[in-house]
Amino acid sequence: MSLRDTHSPTSTGSGRGPGPALFALALGGLAIGTTEFASMGLLPDFAADLGATVPQAGTAISAYALGVVVGAPVLAVLGARWPRKRLVLALAGALAVANLASAFAPTFGTFVATRFLAGLPHGAYFGTASVLAASLVPRERRPRAIATVMSGLMIANIVGVPGATWLGQALGWPAAYLATGVIALVTAAAVWRLVPDVRDERRGSLLGELSALRRGQVWITMAVIATGFGGSFAVYSYVTPVLTEVSGLAAAAVPLALAVFGLGMTLGNQVGGRLAERAPVRTIAVGLGAAAVSMAVFAVTASSPVLALLALFALAFTTTATTPALATRLMDAGREGPTLGATLHHAAFNVANALGAALGGAVLAAGWGWTSPAAAATVLPLLGLVALAAAVRLERVERRRDLALAA
């Protein structure tokens, strides 16, 4: 199935337009972003309560990321024959159940297992919701629709994560997961009520979705995401000690700094959605280049709290501005498997998470200092630019081949 076969809201029989439906789909991003990042802030709390050391508790974070990587392609393929609205509802329900189970986990081992389960719907939800959102608007407005769905994830870093962290500290860490489960249930209700049944939507197929994995363009674009976002995660993973030890901020001010980062992500996502409609490749290229510059500036100016916060905002803005264009590119590259293509965006995103954290940890272990992750990470978006150039070149080769076959 190609996205060219999907229809705008005019064919759904809904007179509301796509706005309420896109809002409903974005709520799922708020739940996902909250449960993913709030766990980092609550790590000492659930570690102490469940009898684990802080290093051991880190396995719960890794378990979630592993769940994303595994669940993204598997659930997208298994749900290929489902109507996308029904699949989104099922994924939101699974997210709610897994987070409620995390809140009531009796042992640390059980908690790790529930975090793995909570990660399974993550990528499949965003991938399916993105394709569903794209089917509700005219083709030229797809990047903006995808950006709206992704905005829930961005807003989570401004509102959801600080709120859940505060709630967990005030009422106990299970309260954060209970709140996230409630958001997921509200998402399911909103999707059921506000997202129209796209009557002309054609269902995918197992082989159709798997065909996306045969296309080199998909793998190269995933490499762009993994390297391009890897630099951002190298900075974000170790930003707290940089801000407290180098910038001189009090620990109580770190949530404000993270909110600045989240604000940059939110604005970058919205601006990137508009730019991707006009010049998608240029948007990706400029965003990656600017991200490399932002990391270098952060490494050099981290001793100044004001300049460090400005650099963090710029890094978040420039990196996230590439998201709508990259997500749209993956859906198009997948052709007959657009849902799997969109879902792989989030698998690559979590590879970026692991890659960035590993690079940052390696240079810190080598004794290069707190700002070394940002300095070393500048190479990652530059590698992303190399991968993007390869993707564009392959695209031109494929276009010439298709024209030759059509002649």
pLDDT tens-digit map of 278-330: 999 999 999 999 999 999 999 999 999 999 999 999 999 999 999 999 988 88
Identify the band that residue 12 occupies on the pLDDT scale cut at 50, 70 and 90.
Answer: very low
Domain 1-204 bears CATH identifier 3.30.9.10:
no
A 10 A CB-CB count for 396 gives: 10
* 90-104, 115-129, 200-214, 333-347, range with the lowest pLDDT: 200-214
What single letter denotes the amino acid at residue 335?
Answer: R
Measured distance CA(308)–CA(60) in Å, rounded? 30
Identify the band that residue 241 occupies on the pLDDT scale cut at 50, 70 and 90.
Answer: confident
**Mean of all residue pLDDT scores within the chain:** 86
* 31-35, 103-107, 209-213, 293-297, range with the lowest pLDDT: 209-213
CB proximity list for 277: less than 8 A, separation 6 or greater: 140, 141, 143, 144
Residue with tokens 């749209």: 328
Task: Answer with the residue of higher pLDDT: 387 or 205.
Answer: 387
Identify the band that residue 6 occupies on the pLDDT scale cut at 50, 70 and 90.
Answer: very low
Give the percent of the chain with pLDDT over 70.
90
CATH 1.20.1250.20 occupies which residues in the chain? 1-204, 213-407
Identify the band that residue 7 occupies on the pLDDT scale cut at 50, 70 and 90.
Answer: very low
Q: Which of 166, 179, 1 is nearest to 83 (CA)?
A: 1
Distance of CA 366 to the CA centre of its chain: 30
CATH class assigned to 213-407: mainly alpha
Task: State the pTM of this model.
Answer: 0.77
Residue with tokens 């803005």: 317
Q: Which of 337, 378, 335 is nearest to 356 (CA)?
A: 378
Measured distance CA(363)–CA(45) in Å, rounded? 28
Q: What are the b/e assignments for 103-127, b being 16+ CB within 10 Å?
A: bebeebeebbbbbbbbbbbbbbbbb
The pLDDT value given to residue 326: 93
The answer to whether the beta carbons of residues 390 and 219 sit under 8 Å apart is: no
